Structure 1
Amino acid sequence: MTLRREAFLGHVKERGKYDSTEEAERAALVVLALLGAHLVGDVRAQLAARLPEAFALILLNPLQSAEPLTPERFVRATAAWIEGATEQTAAWDVGAVLSTVADAAGEDLMGQILLQLPADYDLLFGRPRPT
């Protein structure tokens, strides 16, 4: 089931404790553009199908990444793309967006997504894996 845009941004806004929907949207656009560069094929298409159209398009037409970013570098890259962000605020942005994405994806798809990502991304999605 696809989340509606307002519902998706509502979740991001609440989790990120943003003052405005615009702040939530800016975080979502940057994080999804970076995430899209790390996912390929059917997994990316399945995730896009569960997101509102505008965000699905960002995921499907991502920023290009020469190599998969570690979770730390993913947060740093997010900070670089969001005006005025620090690594701390970017970590907050990433968590707010990716936990919402994880809810939209569901358990099975999240398992496939995490297989495509470097180690420890489960923490960015707010889904720590048992060790």
Structure 2
Amino acid sequence: MVMRWEAFLDQVKERGAYKSTEEAERATRTVLALLGAHLVGEVRADLAARLPEDLALVLLSPLQAREPLSPEPFVRATAAWIEGATEQTAAWDVSAVLSVAAEAAGEELTGHILLQLPAGYDLLFGHPQPA
């Protein structure tokens, strides 16, 4: 089931404690564009199918990462793309967006997403894996 645009942004806004929907949208678009560059194949398409159309297009943008970033460089890349962000605020942005994306994806797809990413993303998605 596709999550509605307003519902997705409202949840990101709440989890990220953003003052405005515009802030939540900026973080969401940045994080999903970077995430989309790290996912491939059916997993990427399946996640896109569960996101609001505008966000699916962001996820499916033609960016491709040369190599998958581990969580720390992913957060640094997010900070570089969001004006005025620090690594601390970017970590907050990434977690707010990815935890909502995980809810939209559901348990099974989130598991497949985590298999495509380097170790450590489970915490950013709010799905800590047993050691």
TM-score band (shorter)? over 0.9
Superposed CA RMSD: 0.7
Cα distance in structure 2, aligned partners of 1:126 and 1:78: 18
Q: Where do residues 51-70 of structure 1 align in structure 2 (5 Å cutoff)?
A: 51-70=51-70
Deviation at 1:66, TM superposition (A): 1.2
Partners of 2:20 and 2:63 in 1: how far apart? 25
Alignment of 1:8-19 (within 5 A): 8-19=8-19
Segments ≥4 residues shifted beyond 4 Å: none
Q: Which amino acid aligns with 2:122?
A: D
Query: Aligned pair in 2 of structure 1 residues 62, 36: CA closer, same or farther (>3 Å)?
Result: farther
Q: SS of the residue aligned with 2:106? A: helix
Please tell me whether residue 2 in structure 1 is matched to residue 12 in structure 2.
no
For residue 69 of structure 2, what is the amino acid of its counterpart?
L
- The answer on whether the counterparts of 1:35 and 1:62 sit within 8 Å (CA) in structure 2 is no
Query: Residue 120 of structure 2 aligns with which residue?
Result: 120
Distance in 2 separating the partners of 1:90 and 1:60: 21
Inter-partner Cα distance in structure 2 for 1:27 and 1:115 = 24
Gap runs ≥5 in structure 2: none
Normalised to the residue count of structure 2, the TM-score between the two structures is 0.98
Q: Which amino acid aligns with 2:79?
A: A
Q: Unpaired runs of 5+ in structure 1?
A: none
TM-score, structure 1 normalization: 0.98
- Superposed counterparts of 1:72-111, under 5 Å: 72-111=72-111
Structure 2 counterpart SS, 1:58: helix
Q: For residues 63 and 98 of structure 1, what CA distance do their matches in structure 2 show? A: 18
- Corresponding residue pairs, total: 131
Equivalence for 2:34 = 34
Listed one character per residue, the Cα deviations across residues 40-65 of structure 1 (whole Å, up to 9, x for unaligned) are: 00000000000000000010115332
Matches of residues 42-57 of structure 1 in structure 2 within 5 Å? 42-57=42-57
Measure, in 2, the Cα distance between the counterparts of 1:16 and 1:72: 18
C-alpha change, 1:86 and 1:62, in structure 2 (3 Å) is farther
